[in-house]
Structure 1
Amino acid sequence: MKLTPFPFPLNIGTDIVHLPRICRLIRRPASSNGNGGAKATTTTATYLDRFIRRILCEEELKDYYAKFSALQHHSASGAKTLTTVSPPGPAMNAANITEMARWLAGRFAAKEAARKAAPGGASTIGWKDVMVRIDRERNGSGSVKPEIVYLKDGGVRGEVGKLSISHDGDYVVATVLAATTRTTTQLPDG
């Protein structure tokens, strides 16, 4: 059978995230902090901190801290930390956790979908090599439309991909459409 290749140089990636998984990550207390195994209320090494630092690029970290600044406080050293358990600092009630989980799940699903849509696949691109960006300047309608940016040259330049994120109940789904270099592939007969 002779097959005609797909006529456009495009890749697509999709990912789904279960919100309760992200909520558990946010609520998970820090490991033992050397005080007899007692759970720390704040630390720079919480599971949440490690998660955001692993998947968010510098610009996304700024967005994250700006959006959730009410849930932050500063340690004696001045480092930003997040409260994972109520006192001290602002209480992280169920609404705070859900809002944070939805934001993080959207970023995680979008980045994973973008990695799947990358020309070489997810294994060829890191979490911090893609960024979810809200372009408020170009969008005159007042609504916010996220897009994916494939960062190149250490974030000096980038290539934009199309992004759709959908939140429904306990799930967040993201789909990314990205351009790729066109190659001619000989398809096997039969």
Structure 2
Amino acid sequence: MKPLPFPFPFNIGTDVVYIPRIGRLLAQPNYLPRFTRRILCDSEQTDFKTRFGESLQARAAYHQQPPPVPADITRWLAGRFAAKEAARKAAPEGAASIGWKDVMVRVQEDGGAFGVGVSRRPEIVYLPPEDGSHEGRVARLSISHDGEYVVATVLAAG
């Protein structure tokens, strides 16, 4: 008997990141700004600077070797990295078809349907291409941090 195809046009992507691996990358001299420029789109850059501005300014004040990147920054960036990699894997044409900055992790600021103070669900936004060939799309994101690991799964329309 011939197997039936999955009845829905969905794509799934999953990624697991070992947070100390990201920490080792960020420990390299001047790698933090390079890493953030590489993986974060403009609105995520703004969010990053708003969220961690004081820590970033304190690190910039060092003229010699700056102190290690704080754990909260490393953890946040590891989560973004895992989410974006999972989103790239779930893209309709596959991971090679889109870049890091073509995908945005968005968290609704209003607290969602359940009100302010409730854990807000992040989502993936596939940004529209510059050529305007299609509009942006939204996908579901599940992300979990546990100890030294972060795992992200994305469900996107095919």
Range of TM-score over shorter length: 0.7 to 0.9
1:72 Cα deviation (Å)?
Answer: 2.6
SS for the counterpart of 2:124 is strand
**C-alpha separation in 2, matches of 1:87 and 1:72:** 11
Alignment gaps of 5+ in structure 1: 30-45, 74-81, 181-190
TM-score when normalising by structure 1: 0.73
Q: Counterpart of 1:15 in structure 2: which amino acid? A: D
Tell me if structure 2 keeps the 8 A contact 1:23–1:97.
no
Query: Is 1:164 aligned with 2:138?
Result: no
RMSD between aligned residues:
2.4
Query: Is 1:17 aligned with 2:1?
Result: no
- For 2:157, the equivalent position in structure 1 comes to 179
Tell me if structure 2 keeps the 8 A contact 1:113–1:176.
yes
**C-alpha separation in 1, matches of 2:45 and 2:103:** 13
The structure richer in helix per residue is: 2
Q: Between the two proteins, what is the percent identity of the paired residues? A: 57
- For 2:73, the equivalent position in structure 1 comes to 100
Once the two structures are superposed, residues 168-189 of structure 1 have per-residue CA deviations (whole angstroms, 9 ceiling, x without a partner) of 0000000000001xxxxxxxxx
SS for the counterpart of 1:147 is strand
Q: Counterpart of 1:59 in structure 2: which amino acid? A: S
Once the two structures are superposed, residues 36-65 of structure 1 have per-residue CA deviations (whole angstroms, 9 ceiling, x without a partner) of xxxxxxxxxx21111110111001000111
**C-alpha separation in 2, matches of 1:98 and 1:21:** 12
1:108 Cα deviation (Å)?
Answer: 0.3
Aligned pairs, how many? 152
1:68 Cα deviation (Å)?
Answer: 0.8
**C-alpha separation in 2, matches of 1:165 and 1:175:** 6
**C-alpha separation in 2, matches of 1:133 and 1:5:** 32
Query: Is 1:145 aligned with 2:145?
Result: no
- For 2:39, the equivalent position in structure 1 comes to 55
SS for the counterpart of 1:163 is strand
Q: Counterpart of 2:88 in structure 1: which amino acid? A: R
SS for the counterpart of 1:153 is coil
Query: Is 1:87 aligned with 2:54?
Result: no
1:83 Cα deviation (Å)?
Answer: 2.5
Structure number with greater Rg is 1
Query: Is 1:27 aligned with 2:2?
Result: no
TM-score when normalising by structure 2: 0.86
Query: Is 1:131 aligned with 2:104?
Result: yes
Alignment gaps of 5+ in structure 2: none
